[in-house]
Structure 1
Amino acid sequence: MSAVFFTYVWGSHGKRGGPLTFTSKQNRTVAVRSTQEGDFAFGVVSRNPGDPNVQIPDEWKGRVLNVWQISHSTADTSEFGIEAANTWDKLEDGSYRWPYALQPIRTWIIRDAPEFRELPGYTASTHTQRAITTLQDVGDELAATLIDLLATNGEELEVMTPRFQTMENRVRQLRQKHPFAINGYAVEPNTEATNSIYVATLGKGGRVVKIGHAQDATKRVTEFNKFRLSSEPQWVLHTDQAIGSVQDAIDVEKYLGETFANHQTEPNNNEVYVNLDPMEERWLGLSEQAPGVF
């Protein structure tokens, strides 16, 4: 069974499934010797990075933002085409801060990322200095919580590979060797079930909106709130419209994403939208392009 580790990070690669990176070859070697291929590494955004010049959005600090299913294949970070995006990504001599990379088999970002220290299984001894530079294993309860979080809130990204073909081929082989199945099983979609388009708002009447498709919209929205603190706004199901087959639902969701592209939080993110009123008249005009939706 795959083991679970965590490490502190300064941010996210966004929609790119970038590698797990290290400041030194020694730190990467420690990570390799401590793990098995197929293990999971969760990236927790640092609250107090060592460099005072680092600017981390407050809404990211202390939250579980990234996940890698790791291999033991190594490469220079530059081989992935990754360059410094901020001044603090470079050292005083101008070199890149994280030049050593570990190739992932799969990568995810965590939507509605929760506070790491609020998760079941987190204790005062969970935080270690080791996690600042390399990977740190976690206890059984926290490991189960993190895998549950990945199953509920994870969004898989396309894995970046170095500029040589052999690594890409090995990633393909490792994906077959280490299939991803939460808690040892995979749920096959029910192709006969009726699928719905759902619209959920962050807080009742909120203007931050999630759009998606599901066979059980109520259950899906409940899952969004699973790792949100009681003091945080909760996702509220606003619309649950039956569509038909899963492909019909996907087509409608795609159309909605194109219609409201200007409200996306990130390019090509057809899930979360900001400053969008679910009651506005534009929704009503969609019936011509997506019959029976609104």
Structure 2
Amino acid sequence: MTTTISIGSGKGGTGKTMILANLALLLARKGKKVCLLDLDVGGADTHLLFGLFEPKYSLTDFLTRKVDTLQDTLHTFYSYNGLQFLPGTGNTLQTANMSYQEKQRLLRAISTIDADVVLIDVGAGTNYHSLDFFMFSDIQICVTLPDPTSILDFYTFLQLATIRRVLGSFLSRSQVSSTLKKQHFTSLSQVFRLAEDTQKGAREKAQLALKYFHPLLVVNRDSANARVNKKKLNSLTSKYLGIEIPPLGEIPEDSAAGEALKAYIPVCELFPDAPVSIALDTMANKLAKVIELFADHS
């Protein structure tokens, strides 16, 4: 059974790509068959973290049908425990603005990948592509920095992700769906209210769509002077979004992360004893247990 995991953030520069690339490597070291996908269609750069400057194939080749299958675009890092990787390079206007049909074709192809774990790096922000790729997975990870603006962007990202999930829970041709799609919502409560006004019992169905949505929280570049009040943040998401955000881990501010980026080598490979690498390894162990629990209950 394949478990899909996506990582997203409310803004760029949170380090989500660095985090996911290292988690992919660490899970591969633990014996998992791992495939890492770069679906940041607006600014793909995961390949650089592995020193892969000119991939033979990329996501664009699949979308433009230059290759027959998504499998044909995968690159295997034999020096990194056989980690498979889909580069998101070669961005074109067609790639960045793929149609609904192209996106559905891509998602169907992702479902056929032969791997234990498929990790998806989605673009930062709240465009439809980012939200849809993020919500497509079995397990979601959200990354934020501890500063106030990042926390605000993080909350906005989660709010729009929950709205997107609720809207997708109704059949596309149903009366509720038709009514909701005509509106522009700024809060989840507005969605619930209009859904119930349109059809009795729709609110309960909408809330049910969020029952198993519990994105894991990662705080990057954490420090003693800038700690996130996770209890308060969880209280806000529970009260206003109806979801819990269990912590996956905190990554300390560490210059080793920047040095590894400059060397085009994952930090866990270049500096395995650095504080950032130890934190990432702890997260990978925790994530491996989450994957096992998910597989057992699927």
RCO higher in structure (CA 8 A, sep ≥6): 2
What range is the shorter-chain TM-score in? under 0.3
Q: TM-score, normalised by structure 2?
A: 0.24
Q: Report the structure, 1 or 2, having the larger strand content.
A: 1
Q: TM-score, normalised by structure 1?
A: 0.24
